[in-house]
Amino acid sequence: MSGAPKQRMFCTGEGSTFQYGMHPNKAAASVAFGTEARTPDSDDIRRIWVENKLHEKTPEQIRELFGITRQAVSLWRQKAGVDLPNYREHMGQQMRDKARAGFDPTLSASQMAEKLGIPENYIREEAAFRGVELPKMNEKKPSDDEIVRLAHGRTWKELAEACNVTLSTLRNYVYAKPELSRAVGAAVTYEASGAHAHGKMDVDKLLELHAQGMSVYRMAAELDVQAMSVIYWLKKLEIYEGRNDAEKQVG
């Protein structure tokens, strides 16, 4: 009797671009991620274990959450090293290493954090250790009318640079104001190449759902499209963050 394809865990990226999910094979995972997938190693499994708080769940709950066998749960436990209570400290050290290696005193703390894909506090910690005062982003922010004016002919990323703020800061500010979000959405430039391969997309609705913090799979369901189409358009809009973890996907 044939059933559904057996699902396995695959992942891709690292830091803020880390993604993971259950897929029947590597090819299917690569399509879903929009980039080449890999079989998770011990570090990947440890991260998945901690982010999903699997140490608080029974083996049966883990099996239910990911749809895996008892043997797979046992293997994950071995890879995760459930005897590593200091894993968060381990991850923190990795963040500090990234801050040290990628430190750029010409950037503000928020710009550097966004560039390196790590929390801002690690940047400030490194700056304090070096005795460096980082430049602050322009205190004088453009008015709403100025943001709309600057949006014409620019992508979201270019608009953020013109406003001298990070992309996430700009997006959060704009989408907190419905009238401003409509005006900016109508003014910014969207790259439409590849639309035939991925179908039409309601870009304004996609941006609205993304600003609400929805996962790729939630957005796909709301828009009635494939998850890979959502990933494709988020990348085209230069706002793809790759933070759609397995728990959100199945929740």
Summarize pLDDT for 91-103 with one digit per residue, the tens. Answer: 677 788 889 999 9
Torsion of CA 112, 114, 116, 117, to 10 degrees: 150
Q: Highest-confidence range of 19-28, 157-166, 232-241, by mean pLDDT?
A: 19-28
73/158 Cα distance (integer angstroms): 45
Q: How confident is the model at residue 19 (pLDDT cuts 50, 70, 90)?
A: confident
What pTM does this model have? 0.36
What's the rounded mean pLDDT across residues 225-235? 75
Is the pLDDT at 139 greater than 60? The verdict is no
Could you tell me the pLDDT band of residue 199, with boundaries at 50, 70 and 90?
Answer: low
Mean pLDDT of 193-218: 67
Positive or negative, the CA dihedral 142, 148, 153, 157 is: positive
3-state secondary structure of 54: helix
Read off the pLDDT band of 87 (50, 70, 90): low
Question: What pLDDT, on the 0 to 100 scale, is given for residue 89?
Answer: 65
Reported as a pLDDT band with limits 50, 70 and 90, residue 11 is: very high
Cβ distance 24 to 6 under 8 Å?
A: yes
Q: pLDDT band for position 246 (50/70/90)? A: very low
Q: Which value, in Å, is the radius of gyration of the alpha carbons in the chain?
A: 20
Query: Any bridge partners for residue 21, and if so which?
Result: 10
> What are the phi and psi torsion angles at 237 (to 5°)?
-85, 0
**pLDDT at position 250:** 39
Residue 86 confidence (pLDDT) above 60: no
Triad 113, 119, 121: Cα angle to 5°: 95
List, for residues 153-192, the tens digit of each pLDDT value.
888 878 888 887 777 778 878 888 888 888 887 788 764 4
Cα 147 from Cα 124, distance rounded (Å): 29
Helix, strand, coil shares of the chain, percent, nearest 5, are: 60, 5, 35
Q: Mean pLDDT throughout 105-110?
A: 84
